[in-house]
Structure 1
Amino acid sequence: MTATANYLAANKAFSASRPANQLPLPPSKQVLVLTCMDARILPEAALGLKEGEAHVVRNAGGRAPEALRSIVISQQLLATKEILVIQHTDCGMVTFTTDQARGLIAKNLNLSADSTGRKTLDQLEFLEFPEVENNVKADVEFLKKSELVDTNNITGYVYDVKSGALKQVA
Structure 2
Amino acid sequence: MTTPKVAAEFAAANESYVRSYGGKLPIPPSRQPLASHFIKVYSITQTNLSPFLLMKVTCMDARIDPIASLGLKEGEAHVIRNAGGRASEAIRSIVISQRLLGTTEVVIFHHTDCGMLTFTDKDIRDKIKSTDGPSTAPYVDQIAFLPFDSVEKSVEDDVQFVKSHPLLLKDAKVSGWVHEVETGRIRQVV
User: Fold conserved (TM > 0.5)?
Assistant: yes
Superposed displacement of residue 21, structure 1: 1.1
AA aligned opposite 2:150: E
1:23 to 19, 25, 33: 25
Q: 1:84 aligns to what? A: 107
1:138 aligned partner = 157
The offset of 1:19, in angstroms, is 5.1
1:93 aligns with 2:119: no
Q: 1:40 to 1:8 in 2, by over 3 A?
A: same
Matched, 1:64 2:87: yes
Moved more, 2-11 or 27-36: 2-11
* TM-score normalised by the chain length of structure 2: 0.82
- The separation in 2 between residues aligned to 1:129 and 1:135, in whole angstroms, is 6
RMSD between aligned residues: 1.5
Give the corresponding residue for 1:157: 177
Hey, what's the Cα distance between the residues in 1 that align with 2:74 and 2:28? Answer: 11
* Aligned with 2:60 (options 37, 44, 66): 37
Instruction: Report SS of the residue matched to 2:56.
Output: strand
SS in 2 for 1:123: coil
Query: Deviations along 1:66-107, whole A, 9 cap, x unmatched?
Result: 000010011101111100100000011011100110111222
1:99 partner letter: K
In structure 2, list runs of 5 or more residues that go unmatched: 32-52
| 1:118 pairs with 2:141 | no
Matched, 1:54 2:83: no
Q: 1:20–1:90: structure 2 CA closer, same or farther, 3 Å change rule?
A: closer
SS of the aligned residue for 1:156 comes to strand
CA distance in structure 2 between the aligned counterparts of 1:8 and 1:105, rounded to whole angstroms:
34
Moved beyond 4 Å, runs of 4+ = none
